[in-house]
Amino acid sequence: MLEIKNLKKSFYKKQVLKGIDLKVEKGEIIGIIGPSGCGKSTFLRCINMLEKPNSGQIILDDDVIDDEKKLLNLRRKVGMVFQQFNLFKNMSVIDNITLAPTLLGIMDKNEAEKKAKSLLKEIELADKVNFYPDELSGGQKQRVAIVRTLMMNPELILFDEPTSALDPEMIKEVTDLMRKIKNEGMTMIIVSHEMKFIRNFCSRVIFMDEGKIQEEGTAEDIFTKPKNKKLKTFLSKINDY
């Protein structure tokens, strides 16, 4: 469904992504691991062009994204969940969730509110519709942020360290919701430092370092039979998987 070809990105003179190729099939759950600063977030942000790549191609459903119309289509089909939730603090939960689909004219306000309420009910946050983000726990905020992306009926969701900002006792409510979405057939790309979660959750794992994909394989192979020297060093520093 999505193909990335020779993606490169620099900030000023520093090249952060040095040519990344990745093909994502529908229903795949891809985990991305790698040391801090190696370009994982930049890569995710380039996939939906929140960050404009310097070169390379993003191809969605066999269509190269090369004009504004296709870019809008890409943004609609590819949702993103951030470490810091990125909810609007001055807006209630329901307004946060219904903003994008109503602004883009995908749904009218009634329709959007109905869908938002039903999604919130499913995750037992129905009583929080009129709350503001600051009145919610971290886990609740992240679940609201996930519901916000679901409103757009995305085909792919990018998660950038979705549980890193959470207290430990709130991680499970977020990963449980991610599991539910996975079971419904969603395609996902997840950057995380929770190695146990990546290992159990993802069908394929990619190890990035120095702006490149250094190794990729099944979760089992990456964690039990790493070949790349940098990956071996990375895993040797982590002991939670």
Ligand X SMILES: Nc1ncnc2c1ncn2[C@@H]1O[C@H](COP(=O)(O)OP(=O)(O)O)[C@@H](O)[C@H]1O
- Contacting positions for ligand X (CB under 6 A): 11, 16, 34, 36-42
Minimal distance, residue 49 CB to Mg ion, in Å: 17
39 versus 139: smaller Cβ distance to ligand X = 39
Q: What's the closest the beta carbon of residue 42 comes to ligand X, in angstroms?
A: 3
Q: Of these partners, ligand X, Mg ion, none, which one is at the site of residue 88 (CB under 5 to 8 Å by kind)?
A: none
Tell me the closest approach of the beta carbon of residue 5 to ligand X, in angstroms: 19
Nearer to ligand X, 13 or 69 (CB): 13
41 or 149, CB closer to ligand X?
A: 41
Decide which of ligand X, Mg ion, none touches 27; Cβ closer than 5 to 8 Å per partner kind.
Answer: none
**Cα gap 38→18, rounded to integer Å:** 11
Q: Which of the listed partners (Mg ion, ligand X, none) does 38 bind, with a CB threshold of 5 to 8 Å by partner kind?
A: ligand X
Give the residue from 75, 30, 50 showing the smallest Cα distance to 217: 30
Of 63, 215, 136, 228, whose CA–CA distance to 146 is shortest?
A: 136
Smallest distance from the beta carbon of 32 to ligand X, in angstroms? 9
Q: Cα–Cα distance between 24 and 203 in angstroms, integer?
A: 11
Nearer to Mg ion, 41 or 140 (CB): 41
Where does this chain bind Mg ion (CB under 5 A)?
A: 40-41
Q: 210 vs 48, 66, 113, 160, 188, CA distance in Å?
A: 21, 27, 44, 18, 23
β-pairing verdict for 55-60 and 29-33 = unpaired
Toward ligand X, which CB reaches closer, 42 or 142?
Answer: 42
Measured in whole angstroms, how far is the alpha carbon of residue 75 from the centre of its chain?
13
Cα(106)–Cα(124) distance, rounded to whole angstroms? 25
